[in-house]
Amino acid sequence: MTAAGRLLAVLDAFSPGRRVLTLSEISRKAGLSLTTAHRLAGELVTWGALERDSDGRYRIGLHLLELAALAPRGLELRELAQPFLEDLFHSTRAHVHLAVRDGYEVVYVETLRARGAVSVLSRLGQRWPLHATGTGLALLAHADRDLQEKVLSSPLKRFTPKTVTDPRVLRRTLAEVRRTGIAVAEEQLTLDGVAIAAPIRGRGDEVVAAIGLVVHVDECEPRALVPVITACARGISRTLGAPSAKGTPGAIKGS
């Protein structure tokens, strides 16, 4: 493993379920000796990528957040989209997700959780397979054909009895998403939850992100939410400079 690889392995030891780690845990998760882990963790603390508590445990440092803010698909996108996400949240009282694709996974760069709504597993920064979420389907449907075929030919994990794992069915689903501009994932990640998502386009009209809603399966007809989520996606796309979104409403009003 290269020197850079060892540093990245230390950072990769952390995850949503492992936010605070001891040096021994970092050593084990990163596959490094205790001595090497101690030296690298010290360098990362000095640089600001890690912080060390008074009890000797480590957590991710703020300098990584500063760097993440420079990513156009991360905090910058989140900042530009925030007014539209809040309008969507207040008009629907549903969970709202803003997501981007990273390889074969969807990553949530913003989440707004509705109090008393259906239970969801997703949180800020979390990753899920593209085939099992509404935003993931919206992104996969507009990805290049080679990537789609790689996803379709790989083992598709089943999360609930309704998760689509048949490549033939998934291929038809992606075609429908492209035709309608909307992805619907009913109880595919969690039972009782329905996700509705729409693609967000960038300056070259390419799909750069997706906006999603999650509601209880018995709360409403998912298609009834299509106009508001489409308006939100177009508003964000227009802010990003997408030619096809020019002249469309930029916010959602009403309740």
> CA dihedral in degrees (224, 226, 232, 235; nearest 10)?
-130
Q: Report the percentage of the chain scoring pLDDT > 90.
A: 62
pLDDT at 253: 39
The CA distances from residue 77 to 5, 38, 157, in Å, are 28, 36, 29
Q: pTM for this structure?
A: 0.73
- The mean-pLDDT minimum among 40-44, 64-68, 82-86 falls in 64-68
Helix axes 23-30, 34-47, angle to 10 degrees: 110
Helix axes 3-12, 34-47, angle to 10 degrees: 80
> CA dihedral in degrees (69, 72, 74, 80; nearest 10)?
90
Give pLDDT tens digits for 241-253. Answer: 999 888 644 444 3
pLDDT at 145: 93
pLDDT of 254 over the 80 cut: no
* Mean of pLDDT values over 66-73: 66
CA angle 67/125/249 to nearest 5° reads 90
pLDDT of 80 over the 50 cut: yes
pLDDT of 229 over the 60 cut: yes
Give pLDDT tens digits for 110-161. Answer: 888 777 666 666 677 778 999 999 999 999 999 999 999 999 999 999 999 9
Give pLDDT tens digits for 48-64. Answer: 999 999 889 999 998 88
pLDDT at 72: 60
